């Protein structure tokens, strides 16, 4: 992609993640070109990538809109994510180094502090949650796996899930991250895989129950 297309991709994706372009809302190349300050050509390139990643979808009449997932779509996304991230956790457990372990622990400390604030800091929770999971995926050392996970629209789903969490559920997520750090410290692939599976499945049920 060109630099202009990369910029358009980042800006459009940000609109979707922030909720400024809510699920189901129609989008056009002209509208997005005006918002991004670029021509329609880089917007078209960006939309092809966003469509491949399922951030946007086409109707039968070929009109574009922000993806709005049905329960069965979300259930499948969480199932696939659980399978892939559990595999990533198992790989990471046998490959992770001391510095990366320390980075994971520090990230989860910041996440836990955000949850413990008088008013839970969901924005920091989301940032640290993303960093934590991305670090595990990087430690798994599998470009193929990372690409497959990126195609699951993980961040919009995580954002919508976290918005439904109460303080106890946010704290539970921080606790599960802590258990993952323990599993990685023990270099126990089966433990890490089991914790990650439960972590993702619990997130799905919290999302579904609040839906």
Q: Which domains does the chain have, with CATH numbers?
A: 3-66 (1.10.10.10), 71-210 (1.20.120.530)
The β-bridge partners of 58 are: 64
Euclidean distance between CA atoms 106 and 93, whole angstroms: 17
Q: What is the pLDDT of residue 206?
A: 78
Euclidean distance between CA atoms 28 and 44, whole angstroms: 10
Provide the 10 A C-beta neighbour count for residue 195: 22
The tokens describing 158, both together, are: 């995580």
Whether residue 210 is predicted with pLDDT greater than 70 in this model: the reply is: no
The tokens describing 198, both together, are: 């439960």
Give the model's confidence band at 141: pLDDT under 50 very low, under 70 low, under 90 confident, else very high: very high
Euclidean distance between CA atoms 23 and 19, whole angstroms: 8
Strand order in the sheet with 64-66: 26-27, 64-66, 56-58
Q: Determine which of 19-28, 76-85, 98-107, 183-192 has the lowest per-residue pLDDT on average.
A: 19-28
pTM for this structure?
0.73
Top-confidence range, 12-21, 35-44, 65-74 = 35-44
Q: What is the pLDDT of residue 108?
A: 96
Query: Region 183-200: what's the mean pLDDT?
Result: 97
Query: Region 144-171: what's the mean pLDDT?
Result: 73
Give the model's confidence band at 159: pLDDT under 50 very low, under 70 low, under 90 confident, else very high: low
Instruction: Name the residue with higher pLDDT: 177 or 73.
Output: 177
Q: From its phi and psi, is residue 148 left (phi > 0), alpha (psi between -120 and 50) or beta? A: alpha
Q: What is the pLDDT of residue 211?
A: 58
Provide the 10 A C-beta neighbour count for residue 52: 11
Strands (E) located in the chain: 26-27, 56-58, 64-66
């Amino acid at each position: 992609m060109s630099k202009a297309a990369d910029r358009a991709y980042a800006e459009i994706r940000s609109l979707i993640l922030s909720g400024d372009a809510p699920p189901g809302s129609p989008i056009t190349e002209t509208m997005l070109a005006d918002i991004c300050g670029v021509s329609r050509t880089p917007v078209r390139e960006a939309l092809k990538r966003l469509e491949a990643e399922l951030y946007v979808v086409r109707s039968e009449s070929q009109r574009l809109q922000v993806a709005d997932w049905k329960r069965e779509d979300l259930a499948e996304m969480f199932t696939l994510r659980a399978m892939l991230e559990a595999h990533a956790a198992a790989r990471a457990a046998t490959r992770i180094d001391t510095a990366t372990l320390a980075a994971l622990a520090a990230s989860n400390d910041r996440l836990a502090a955000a949850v413990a604030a008088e008013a839970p800091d969901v924005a920091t929770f989301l940032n640290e949650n993303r960093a934590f999971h991305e670090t595990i995926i990087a430690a798994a050392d599998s470009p193929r796996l990372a690409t497959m996970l990126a195609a699951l629209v993980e961040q919009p789903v995580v954002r919508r899930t976290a918005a439904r969490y109460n303080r106890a559920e946010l704290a539970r997520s921080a606790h599960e991250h802590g258990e993952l750090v323990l599993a990685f410290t023990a270099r126990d692939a089966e433990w890490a895989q089991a914790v990650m599976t439960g972590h993702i499945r619990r997130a799905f049920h919290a999302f579904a129950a609040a839906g």
